[in-house]
């Protein structure tokens, strides 16, 4: 009996001795280095399988836990969208972007079940957008369509959308036209990026009268200024606190409407900005508004830089700048009287493209 007990005890002792060699570190090796050669994780090959590039040890398959963007449109082999990623979230639409979408599948089930699911999908689509977010989406679509059709870039559109959201958040007044408020946002966004347009032009873009636009813009400034005083708009530039526009801000757009090649457009624009800034510094035309001074500067530069475009007359420039010929001639006459001073800031090099 003791012999059997000794064998049993011997087996137990040997098991205890073997278990001493299996430490916790060996059972669960370090994840950041190879357990055989000790190379760091930076030397692992992580394309399909985790492999040590020094000793060739294969650890485990590389499981990709990132988003699966797989759908390639009409060229995809799959007839349905296999993408397992939801729609992107937007902080401006907190409820609709976190909703679900019922796909239009007709596979499986009988006809009555498919008709019922189609009805559920239709009801779900109707209730997917709350009223406020649906109205905001309609405003954004109107803003983007109108701005794009009139040559306004995407950066300006994004700033205008941000201004509109801030206005809606702090608005407590009824009776204002939504179109006029959108026009005010576009006008302020253009002014913020240094490419302003005249209020008359913005009014024509949105089919508004000058009175409607002026009233809306005054209300727009009032609401955002009050919100700024309460400390609610720390990261937004308030239009009422912005500096006034200058004549050099109104040079680029009318100049781009003239029949001028790209080679000469850059040099004409540079000279027009130089002359406009110098004219404002010397107060040559203090009674003229910045758009009128910009028109006079464009005519002045076209006449004195190598006479490259003699066919562009005063009538064409006045039409492009949307001012009267009389105002343009008066401004041009005053600039001509200071030609000896203004010619010092002009350059005549042609910019190559």
Please state which architecture CATH assigns to domain 247-345. Orthogonal Bundle (1.10)
CA angle (189, 297, 289) in 5-degree steps: 55
Paired tokens of 1: 């009996």
Of 207, 301, 208, the C-alpha closest to 254 is 301
pLDDT, averaged in runs of 10, over the chain (353 residues)? 45 48 44 72 63 74 62 56 64 76 64 78 81 87 88 88 84 71 89 86 88 86 80 64 81 85 83 88 86 89 71 83 87 87 72 43
Q: Say how far apart CA 207 and CA 185 lie, in whole Å.
A: 15
By the 8 A CB rule, do 255 and 268 touch?
yes
By the 8 A CB rule, do 347 and 271 touch?
yes
pTM over 0.75: no
Query: Domain 153-241 carries which CATH code?
Result: 1.10.472.10
Q: Say how far apart CA 309 and CA 268 lie, in whole Å.
A: 11
Q: Domain coordinates of the chain in residue numbers?
A: 27-82, 153-241, 247-345
């Amino acid at each position: 009996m003791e012999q059997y007990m000794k064998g049993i005890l011997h087996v137990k002792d040997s098991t205890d001795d073997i278990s001493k060699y299996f430490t916790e570190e060996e059972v669960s090796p370090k994840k950041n280095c190879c357990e055989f050669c000790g190379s760091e994780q930076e030397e692992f090959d992580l394309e399909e399988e985790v492999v040590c590039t020094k000793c060739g040890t294969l650890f485990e398959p590389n499981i990709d836990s990132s988003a699966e963007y797989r759908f390639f449109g009409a060229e995809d082999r799959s007839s349905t969208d296999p993408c397992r990623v939801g729609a992107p979230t937007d902080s401006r639409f907190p409820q609709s972007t976190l909703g679900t979408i019922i796909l239009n599948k007709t596979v499986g089930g009988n006809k009555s079940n498919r008709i019922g699911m189609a009805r559920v999908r239709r009801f779900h689509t109707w209730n997917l957008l709350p009223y406020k977010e649906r109205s905001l989406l309609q405003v954004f679509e109107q803003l983007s369509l109108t701005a794009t059709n009139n040559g306004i870039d995407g950066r300006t559109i994004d700033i205008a959308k941000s201004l509109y959201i801030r206005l809606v958040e702090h608005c407590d007044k009824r009776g204002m036209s939504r179109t006029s408020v959108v026009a005010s946002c576009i006008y302020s966004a253009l002014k913020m990026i240094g490419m302003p347009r005249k209020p008359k032009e913005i009014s024509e873009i949105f089919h508004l009268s000058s009175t409607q636009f002026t009233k809306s813009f005054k209300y727009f400034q009032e609401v955002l200024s009050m919100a700024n005083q309460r400390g609610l708009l720390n990261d937004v530039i308030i239009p009422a606190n912005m500096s006034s526009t200058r004549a050099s801000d109104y040079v680029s757009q009318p100049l781009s409407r003239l029949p001028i090649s790209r080679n000469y457009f850059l040099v004409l624009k540079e000279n027009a900005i130089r002359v406009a800034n110098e004219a404002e510094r010397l107060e040559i035309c203090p009674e003229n508004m910045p758009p009128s001074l910009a028109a006079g500067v464009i005519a002045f530069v076209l006449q004195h830089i190598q006479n490259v475009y003699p066919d562009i007359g005063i009538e064409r420039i006045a039409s492009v700048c949307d001012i009267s010929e009389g105002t343009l001639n008066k401004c041009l006459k005053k600039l001509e009287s200071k030609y000896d001073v203004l010619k010092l800031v002009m350059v005549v090099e042609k910019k190559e493209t």
